[in-house]
């Protein structure tokens, strides 16, 4: 009788190379497991890298501080095989002995791999604001989404289509969130993200007047600090209400809405409008749910066996982590990645202990 | 011409229209035709069209108004205010809001209610964000008096 050693354990398959998937891969690699990380796109890092977040809420620390070391470790550590531009097309078997088909999206080639366990961390996609016509997104280039503003802030150049810096800017909260005609859920981070961006805009464009048009401010937990700071130190204005329509008038935008605190409609001209677009499970998560036959909830997010225990997919040997389960912040996605890695390590240790004939 | 009792008396649902938005010329002649009376009546829209931050800036510069930007509109001040209890048109939370955002129309309509404040300071005791609304009332009063 002997223990199986590590070399007899198949690699762990991690699907999705965002904060959650990277953290899961890094932790497992550090514990000595081999990992295969399958990422749909040509780069690792998930949303924060793809959209070029300059800093992270709530403390406005550079995104690289968090994502840089993770990506470096995963790519440099010999234990992780990174397969970019690839998706998993199917898996048979179970814990300890999965057979997985991976397709390379660039050349169409497929490869069959063995895996001991699977972690799904396929994240979210931004709500496409074109779906909700009231904001004129897609028709007017000065109406942008928070994900696009992230990239502009990173470049240090925020200008209107005509090249002028915007003087008066409105953020509209809950676009594609908490709305029966689009998505019912709250994306949990976009209040904080919008406020973070408003502060960054104030650093960049000192004279800009910034108005946050909100239903509720949901800066949960310690993110509340951001909200207070934005009012007290940066003089950012908050208007409670919703926007019904946006028209282009010359090179300005007429924003029509109701301020529910004054019981009155407003029609005010802005230079730029930023939409706080919500989070959706997206096509990547739908693809993996089909390929692995995972349960999805009414909203399309992956449904764990128990709503309070995210990592348990309900299928033996398959674990969930990050924003593919529910909207969440980077810190939560990292913690879920670690949690899923821990579940895998536990399960594989049980296998290692098993008697080998 | 009929004797007018009240501005805009012809308006159906008159209660919903503020006096300040009714324009009713005493005598209106268009092309030699007398259009006085209900024909000349004009009701201005009550849409907020712009922000005017001049009063806000004056309040922030006043020693007792400098914390106005902390206000997050919870309404604790109004709930504690003995004057607001008697006269709901005096509303410290609301005054702070319209000054902060610079809603000209609303300031024209409600600004002078600020002088109803009894300076008892009860609002400042309950404000969760240390705005000192009592001080802000004083600052708004001063700003309104000084505004050119
Ligand atoms: C504009 C914006 C700004 C934000 N700013 C902050 C912030 O400042 N602070 C903060 O804490 N949070 C912020 N967030 C939230 C943050 O982006 C998420 O919490 C985080 O990205 C979730 O990580 P994840 O790994 O679960 O998912 P993702 O980051 O979405 O990563 C998922 C990865 O999986 C890949 N993938 C998807 N489908 C498949 C598939 N089928 N096969 C293979 N790979 C696949 C994707 O390409 C992606 O690389 C922000 C969100 C938005 C919308
Ligand atoms: S100080 Fe003025 S606003 Fe504050 S509670 Fe007293 S009367 Fe009301
Ligand atoms: S109690 Fe303070 S924070 Fe609340 S509305 Fe009044 S002044 Fe603003």
Summarize pLDDT for A88-137 with one digit per residue, the tens. Answer: 999 999 999 999 999 999 999 999 999 999 999 999 999 999 999 999 99
pLDDT, averaged across chain A: 95
Query: Which has the minimum average pLDDT: A56-65, A157-166, A244-253, B31-40?
Result: B31-40
**Greatest pairwise CA separation for chain B in angstroms:** 64
> What per-residue confidence (pLDDT) applies to B5?
59
> What per-residue confidence (pLDDT) applies to A55?
94
Please report which confidence band the pLDDT of residue A353 belongs to, taking 50, 70 and 90 as the band edges. confident
Global confidence as pTM:
0.90
C-alpha distances in angstroms, A316 versus A27, A319, A355? 21, 8, 20
Higher pLDDT, B144 or B49: B144
Q: What is the pLDDT of residues A2-31, one digit of tens each?
A: 566 666 899 999 999 999 999 999 999 999
The CATH H-level (homologous superfamily) assignment of domain A127-278 is FAD/NAD(P)-binding domain (3.50.50.60)
Chain A residue numbers with beta carbons less than 8 Å from the beta carbon of B72 are 217, 227, 231, 238
Cβ–Cβ below 8 Å for B97 and A235: no
- Residue A297: in which H helix or E strand, if any? none
Is A212:A173 a contact under the CB 8 Å cutoff? yes
pLDDT at A338 over 90: yes
Burial class (CB in 10 A: 0-12, 13-18, 19+), A181: exposed
The percentage of chain A sitting over the pLDDT mark of 90, rounded to a whole number, equals 94
Residue A247 and residue A254: Cα distance in Å, rounded? 5
Please report which confidence band the pLDDT of residue B1 belongs to, taking 50, 70 and 90 as the band edges. very low
> What per-residue confidence (pLDDT) applies to B33?
85
> What per-residue confidence (pLDDT) applies to A343?
98
C-alpha distances in angstroms, B34 versus A241, A256, B3, B38, B41? 44, 38, 16, 11, 13
> What per-residue confidence (pLDDT) applies to B3?
52
Nearest-CA residue for ligand 3 atom 2 is B127
The CATH H-level (homologous superfamily) assignment of domain B54-146 is Alpha-helical ferredoxin (1.10.1060.10)
Chain B residue numbers with beta carbons less than 8 Å from the beta carbon of A267 are 47-49
Comma-separated ranges of CATH 3.50.50.60 domains in chain A: 6-124+281-353, 127-278
Is A165:A118 a contact under the CB 8 Å cutoff? no
- Residue A195: in which H helix or E strand, if any? helix A190-204
Please report which confidence band the pLDDT of residue B83 belongs to, taking 50, 70 and 90 as the band edges. very high
Task: Concatenate the DSSP letters of all residues of A131-148 into one string.
Answer: GSGGG-TTT-TTEEEHHH
Q: Average of pLDDT values for B117-127? A: 97
Interface membership of A231 toward B (CB under 8 Å): yes
Instruction: Search chain A and give the residue with CA nearest B130.
Output: A232
Q: Is A115 helix (H, G, I), strand (E, B) or coil?
A: strand
Q: Which residue out of A233, A236, A259 would a mutagenesis test of the B interface target, given it has the greatest number of B Cβ atoms within 10 Å?
A: A259
Is A202:A236 a contact under the CB 8 Å cutoff? yes
Fold of A6-124+281-353: FAD/NAD(P)-binding domain (3.50.50)
Chain A residue numbers with beta carbons less than 8 Å from the beta carbon of B51 are 209, 237, 268
- The tokens 């004056």 sit on which residue? B58
> What per-residue confidence (pLDDT) applies to A95?
96
> What per-residue confidence (pLDDT) applies to B24?
81
Q: Identify any residues that bridge with A210 across adjacent strands, giving them in sequence order.
A: A169
Q: What is the pLDDT of residues B24-80, one digit of tens each?
A: 887 888 888 887 777 778 887 778 888 999 999 999 999 999 999 999 999 999 999
ipTM associated with this complex? 0.84
In the reported structure, the alpha carbon of residue A215 is separated from the centroid of ligand 2 by a whole-number distance in angstroms of: 28
Residue B148 and residue B145: Cα distance in Å, rounded? 8
| Most ligand 3 atoms within 8 A of CB, residue of B76, B78, B92, B124 to mutate | B76
pLDDT at A222 over 80: yes
The percentage of chain A sitting over the pLDDT mark of 70, rounded to a whole number, equals 97
Please report which confidence band the pLDDT of residue A48 belongs to, taking 50, 70 and 90 as the band edges. very high
Domain coordinates in residue numbering, chain B = 1-47, 54-146
Cβ–Cβ below 8 Å for B49 and A268: yes
Q: Average of pLDDT values for A245-261? A: 94
Q: Average of pLDDT values for A188-192? A: 95
Instruction: Search chain A and give the residue with CA nearest B71.
Output: A231
């Amino acid at each position: 009788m002997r223990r199986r050693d590590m070399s007899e354990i198949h690699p762990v398959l991690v699907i999705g190379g965002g904060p959650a998937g990277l953290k899961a891969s890094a932790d497992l690699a550090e514990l000595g497991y081999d990992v295969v990380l399958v990422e749909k796109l040509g780069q690792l890092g998930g949303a924060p890298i793809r959209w070029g977040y300059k800093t992270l809420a709530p403390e406005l620390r550079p995104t690289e501080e968090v994502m840089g070391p993770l990506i470096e470790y995963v790519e440099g550590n010999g234990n992780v095989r990174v397969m970019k531009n690839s998706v998993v097309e199917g898996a048979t078997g179970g814990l300890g002995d999965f057979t997985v088909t991976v397709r390379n999206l660039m050349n169409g080639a497929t490869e069959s791999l063995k895996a001991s366990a699977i972690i799904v961390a396929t994240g979210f996609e931004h709500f496409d604001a074109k779906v909700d016509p009231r904001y004129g997104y897609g028709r007017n280039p000065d109406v942008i989404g928070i994900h696009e503003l992230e990239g502009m802030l990173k470049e240090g150049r925020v200008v209107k289509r005509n090249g002028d810096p915007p003087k008066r800017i409105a953020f509209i909260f809950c676009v594609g969130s908490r709305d029966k005609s689009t998505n019912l859920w709250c994306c949990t981070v976009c209040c904080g993200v919008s406020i973070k961006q408003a502060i960054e805009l104030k650093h960049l464009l000192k004279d800009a007047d910034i108005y946050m048009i909100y239903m509720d401010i949901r800066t949960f937990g310690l993110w509340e600090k951001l909200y207070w700071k934005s009012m007290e130190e940066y003089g950012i204005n908050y208007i409670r209400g919703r926007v019904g329509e946006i028209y282009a008038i010359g090179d300005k935008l007429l924003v029509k809405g109701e301020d529910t605190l004054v019981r009155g409609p407003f029609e005010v001209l802005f230079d730029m409008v930023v939409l706080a677009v919500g989070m959706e499970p997206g096509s990547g998560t739908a693809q993996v749910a089909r390929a692995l036959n995972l349960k999805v909830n009414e909203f399309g997010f992956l449904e764990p066996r128990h709503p309070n225990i995210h990592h348990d997919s309900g299928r033996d040997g398959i674990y969930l982590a990050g924003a593919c389960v529910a909207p969440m912040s980077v810190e939560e996605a990292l913690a879920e990645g670690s949690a899923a890695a821990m579940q895998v390590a536990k399960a594989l240790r049980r296998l290692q202990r098993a008697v080998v004939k | 011409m009929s004797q007018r009792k009240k501005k805009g008396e012809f308006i159906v649902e008159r209660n919903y229209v503020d006096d300040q938005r009714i324009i009713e010329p005493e005598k209106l002649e268009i092309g030699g035709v007398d259009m006085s009376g209900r024909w000349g009546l004009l009701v201005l829209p009550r849409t907020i069209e712009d922000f005017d931050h001049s009063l806000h800036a004056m309040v922030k510069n006043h020693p007792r108004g400098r914390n106005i930007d902390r206000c997050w509109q919870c309404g604790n001040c109004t709930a504690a205010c003995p004057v607001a209890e008697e006269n709901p048109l005096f509303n410290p939370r609301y005054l702070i809001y319209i000054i902060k955002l610079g809603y000209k129309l609303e300031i024209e309509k409600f600004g002078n209610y600020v002088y109803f404040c009894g300076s008892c300071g009860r609002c400042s005791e309950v404000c969760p964000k240390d705005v000192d609304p009592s001080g802000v009332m004083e600052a708004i009063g001063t700003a309104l008096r000084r505004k050119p």
